[in-house]
Amino acid sequence: MNERRRITGVVTSNKMTKTVVVEIGRTFRHPLYRKVVHLSKRVKAHDELGCQIGDQVQIVESRPLSKDKRWVVETIVKHEIRTADSGVEA
């Protein structure tokens, strides 16, 4: 195994060709105020596997592939099963 960073996140957009937007969530306790802080970061990753929105994926850092892409989708950890009525409000 190489020394590249590997991070798990959730796919939030797959509208681009061979590119997905992955949201990486991070939770930690503030060092002074001891409150729980939730931070998230969105990165673009190269996708050869065909990820769908909501999939949990593992991404690995790579050489710069474009202006914004510095990550590659390595594996799909969990598929999101989407139904016909998901995302539709009554």
Q: How many CA atoms lie within 13 A of 52 on its CB side?
A: 6
| pLDDT at residue number 88 | 59
Q: What is the pTM of this model?
A: 0.84
Q: What is the pLDDT of residue 87?
A: 62
Q: If you count them, how many residues does the chain have?
A: 90
Kindly state the average pLDDT of the residues 1-8: 90
In this structure, the dihedral spanned by the alpha carbons of residues 18, 70, 60 and 23, taken in order and rounded to 10 degrees, is -80
Q: For residues 40-59, b (16+ Cβ closer than 10 Å) or e, as one string?
A: eeebbbbbeeebebbbbbeb
Give the model confidence (pLDDT) of 27-47 as tens digits. 999 999 999 999 999 999 999
Q: How far is CA 7 from the centre of its chain?
A: 8
**Range 43-59 average pLDDT:** 96
